[in-house]
Structure 1
Amino acid sequence: MVTRPAVRQDFSPARDATAGLLKINLARRGFISAAMLTMLAGCSGLNTDGSAPGAPGVPAATGPATPGTTIGNGSVKVALLLPLSAGGQFGAIATGMRNAAELAVADFQGADITILVKDDGGTAQGAQAAAQAAIQEGAEIILGPVLADAVRGAAAVARPAGKPIIAYSTDVGVASRGVYVMGITPQVSVDRIVEYAAQQGKRSYAAFVPNSAYGQVVQGAFQEAVSRTGGRVVAIESFPTEASGINAAATKLSGVAGQIDAIFVPDPYNGQAVRALAAAGINTQRVQVLGLGTWVDNRAAAQAAPGAVYSAPDGAGFRNFATRYRARFNSDPPRTAALAYDSVSLVTALVRTQGSQRFSESVLTNAAGANGVDGLFRFRPDGTTQRGLAVVNASGRVVSPAPRSFNAGS
C-alpha cells in the first residue's frame, strides 16, 4: 500500500479479482466529477475541438517553444502541453489545469516525476515546437494539449519519437494508436443517456438540438445510439440560438407530441429550449426529457423540466477535488482541471508500479482501466476513451449510478 498524504487519496494499484487485470484507483471510491469538455463547449462557447473541418496539415515547427516551468523533481520526465499564452477562456483553463497537475503531484506523496510544463499557444505549430522541446529534454509521455489542432501538432512529433500522448480534447478525430483522447466525448455521453432511456422502456424519440457544430455532432451520436438500442427517431429539429427562433423551431415538433415517449435536448439554453417545447404542446412531464452535461447545475433548465435526466459524472468527486484546489490556490478550478489531475495521478501511479513498461501500449490500454476524480475510465487501443458515467435528474440526484468496474469483454 502506498503511503498517502493527508487528503487520504488512494492511488494504490490493485488486481481485479474477476478479470485478473490491473486497476489503479486514482481517487477515493465514489468521488467522481463533472469535468466535461463537452459541457464547456455547449454552454460557454468553448471549442475544444480545434479549427473547422478541412484544416490544412500540420506545418513544420518554426522555432523553439516558449520556455516552461517544472513541477516536481522526480527521475521520470513527463510533458504537460497547455495553451498558457492563448488568453481569454483558454488561458484561464490552461492555468487551472496546470494548477491541478501541481495538486496531483502534491497529493501523491513521493511522486517520482518531473512535469515539464510547456506553452503550446493553442496552435498546431506551438504544440509541435513544445512537444519537440519536451522530448529533447527527456519527456517519456505527453499530457495535453487541449485543442484538437494542437494535438495534431504534438502528434506529428511524438509519433516518430515513440512517445504516447494523453490529450485533453473531446475530438475523437485526433485519436489514434498512441494518441489517447481523455476528454469526455459526445458519443460516450449520448450512449449512456440513450441506453438508460431504453432500459426505462423508451422506444420513440425526437430530438431538439442547437444549430451548431456541437448540435450536429450530438445529433449524429444520438441517431446511432437510438438505432443500436432498437428505438426509432420520429423527428429531429434544430433551433437557432435566438429566443424567437427557438420558439418557431419547437412549433415544428408539435405534430409528433403524441408519437414520442422521450425527447433529446442536449443543450437547454438555460431552459429556453424546454419552455419552447412546452409552449408548442409537448408535455415534458409525460415525455421524458434527455440531456447531456450542459444540464449540470443549470437551474433554469431544471425549473423548466424538473423530470429531465442527463448523463454526467457523479459530481461528488469534483466537489471534493474543488475543495482541495481552492484551499491551495484560493480560486475555483475549471471543470477541465480534473482531467489534468487524473492524468498526472495516472502516470505517477504507473511510474511507481509498472517499471520500464510504465507507458507501453499494453499498460495504458489495460482493460480494467482506472478510477479517478472524474470517475472510471480506460483507453482503447484506437485512442478513444471509455467512461463510466452516471445518470442524474434535473435536481442533481443520481438515478443510475456510474459503474464501478468495466466488463472485461466490453
Structure 2
Amino acid sequence: MKLKVTHSALVVAWAFSCAAAHADVVKIGFAAPLTGAQSNYGTDMQKGVQLAINDFNATHPTIGGKPISFELDSQDDQADPHTGTVVAQRLIDDGVSGVIGHFNSGTSIPASDLYNRAGLPQISMATSPVYTARGYKTTFRLLTSDAQAGRIVGSYVVKTLHYKRIAIIDDRTAYGQGIADEFAKAVEAAGGTVVKRDYTNDKALDFSAILTNLKGINPDAVFYGGGDAQSSPMIRKMRQLGIKAAFVTGEMSRSPTFLKIGGSAAEGAIVYMGGLPKEKMPGFASYATRYKARFGEDPITYSPYSYDGTMALLTAMKDANSTDPKVYGPYLDKLSIKGVSAATISYDSTGDLKDAPVTIYKVQHGDFKPVDTIAGN
C-alpha cells in the first residue's frame, strides 16, 4: 500500500524543519566535577540537566516571538574552589543565560560571587547555609540546606535512634564542616553529647589514627561529614578495628561507590538525603524510563534534582517571555512547578527550597532502604 503524503502535510513538516533550523540558540551553563574522585556526582547531575534540556526543546518553545533551542555548556570544576571560579567566569564569558551547578558548596559559594555580579541566576546543589545566607537574588538550591538537614538528622539520631554519645569527623570542606557543625548543634539541643570532634580532608584515604583514638572513647555513633571517597574506606577501617559504633553520614555517601567500596562493612550504615525516596517521587517512574532510553542506564542520586532545577530555570524564561537573566530572574522567586523529585518546586525569599523533607536510609543487604522521611521546616 502506498502512503499518500498531502501537500499540507509537507508544508507543516517543512515549517517545523525551518523553525528548528533558524531557532535562536540559548546556552545553559553547567559546572560540576566531571573528572577526579567526585566525577560520579557531576556526571550524574549533568545527565539530568541534559535530559531536561532535551525534554524542553521537544516542546518547540518560543520566547519573545522566536523559536528557541536550548544548548548545554558544560564545564569541569574538578571540585576545586579556584577552578570553580575560573569556569564560572568562562560560563559568563560564553554568554550563558543561567547556570545549573556547581555541585560542591566549596565551589558554589565563591562562584556565586561572580554570577551575582553578572546578574546570572544559579541553581546549585550546594547545601551549605552560607550559599544563600548572603542575600544574593541570584542563588537558588536544588537540595535541602545543611541547616535544615542538620537540625532534622541530629535530633533524629538522639531522639529516635537513641544514640547519646556521638563522635563527629568532617573533611574541612564547606559542605563537610558545614553539615558537621549543624549536626553537632542539633545533637546537643536534643540532649546528646559530642564526645569528640576530629578532622580529615577530602583527599585522605587512611583513617587509622583518627579511628584508633575513637575506639578508646567508645561512642554510640560516628558521624562523618564528607563524600563517599572517604566515607567508604572509613567505615571499612572502623569495622576492621572492631569499632561497633553506628555510622551516620550524608547524601554524598548515598551512592554506588559507598556500597561497592564499603562492601559488607557498609551494612547498617545510616545515610540521609534531602528530598523524598525515589519510590515516593511523584514523577520518578516516567523520568527513569526516559533517562534509561537516553543514557542506557538507571538514574543514580542527583539527576532528578538537577532535572527539576533545569526545568525551573527554563520555565522561568518561558513565563517571563525572555532569556535575559535580569528579566526572567524575578520569575524564579514566584515559580511553582510540578517536579520529578517533588510535587511542587518553589523557593522561599532566600532561594532555599520550600517544604524540603529529609529521608533517612539504612544500608540493608547491599542497598539503601528508606526507613523514615521527615518533613522539612
Asked whether the two chains share a fold, i.e. TM above 0.5, the reply is yes
> What's 1:191 paired with?
151
| 1:379/1:385 contact within 8 Å kept | yes
| 2:212/2:241 contact within 8 Å kept | yes
| 2:23/2:69 contact within 8 Å kept | no
2:348 to 369, 380, 390: 380
- Write the distance in 2 (CA, Å) between the matches of 1:204 and 1:343: 37
- Shift in alpha-carbon separation, 1:157–1:211, aligned structure 2, 3 A: closer
> What's 1:401 paired with?
373
- Write the distance in 1 (CA, Å) between the matches of 2:91 and 2:338: 29
| 1:80/1:115 contact within 8 Å kept | no
> What's 1:99 paired with?
50
> What's 2:10 paired with?
none
| 1:127/1:145 contact within 8 Å kept | no
1:324 to 268, 290, 308: 290
Amino acid at match of 1:304: A
Amino acid at match of 2:99: L
Most deviating of 394-403 and 204-213? 204-213
Query: If the length of structure 2 is used for normalisation, what is the TM-score?
Result: 0.64
Amino acid at match of 1:389: V
- Shift in alpha-carbon separation, 1:95–1:174, aligned structure 2, 3 A: same
Tell me the SS of whatever aligns to 1:400: strand
Matched, 1:143 2:102: no
Q: Per-residue CA shift, 1:199-221, capped at 9, x if unaligned?
A: 41535232342544254333223
> What's 1:220 paired with?
181
> What's 1:272 paired with?
233
Matches within 5 A, 1:33-72: none
Matched, 1:166 2:123: yes
> Over aligned residue pairs, what C-alpha RMSD do you find?
4.4
Matches within 5 A, 1:88-127: 89=39, 96-105=47-56, 109=59, 111-112=61-62, 114=68, 116-117=70-71, 119=73, 121=75, 122=77, 124=85, 127=88
Number of residue pairs aligned between Structure 1 and Structure 2: 317
Q: Per-residue CA shift, 1:116-140, capped at 9, x if unaligned?
A: 54647555465456447648xxx5x
- Stretches of structure 2 that go unaligned for 5 or more consecutive residues are 1-18, 78-83
- Shift in alpha-carbon separation, 1:85–1:174, aligned structure 2, 3 A: closer
Give the superposition deviation at 1:326. 2.9
> What's 2:249 paired with?
291
Amino acid at match of 1:246: F
- Stretches of structure 1 that go unaligned for 5 or more consecutive residues are 1-70
- Write the distance in 2 (CA, Å) between the matches of 1:355 and 1:199: 49
Percent of residue pairs bearing the same amino acid type: 18
| 2:85/2:114 contact within 8 Å kept | yes
Q: Per-residue CA shift, 1:94-149, capped at 9, x if unaligned?
A: 85355223234157x465564654647555465456447648xxx5xx23342424
- Write the distance in 2 (CA, Å) between the matches of 1:379 and 1:187: 16
Question: Which structure ranks higher in relative contact order (CA pairs < 8 Å, sequence separation ≥ 6)?
Answer: 1
> What's 1:14 paired with?
none
Amino acid at match of 1:194: G
> What's 1:344 paired with?
310
1:390 to 355, 359, 365: 359
| 1:164/1:359 contact within 8 Å kept | no
> What's 1:251 paired with?
212
Matches within 5 A, 1:226-237: 226-237=187-198
| 1:193/1:290 contact within 8 Å kept | no
Amino acid at match of 1:292: G
Amino acid at match of 2:167: A
Tell me the SS of whatever aligns to 1:265: strand
Tell me the SS of whatever aligns to 2:290: helix
| 1:189/1:292 contact within 8 Å kept | no
2:137 to 169, 178, 181: 178
Larger radius of gyration: 2
- Shift in alpha-carbon separation, 1:129–1:209, aligned structure 2, 3 A: closer
Tell me the SS of whatever aligns to 1:253: helix
Query: If the length of structure 1 is used for normalisation, what is the TM-score?
Result: 0.60
Q: Per-residue CA shift, 1:70-109, capped at 9, x if unaligned?
A: x9899999752124998774985685355223234157x4
| 1:80/1:145 contact within 8 Å kept | no
Tell me the SS of whatever aligns to 2:199: strand
| 1:364/1:379 contact within 8 Å kept | yes
Q: Per-residue CA shift, 1:157-182, capped at 9, x if unaligned?
A: 11xxxx64434444544433312232
Matched, 1:202 2:165: no
Give the superposition deviation at 1:394. 0.7
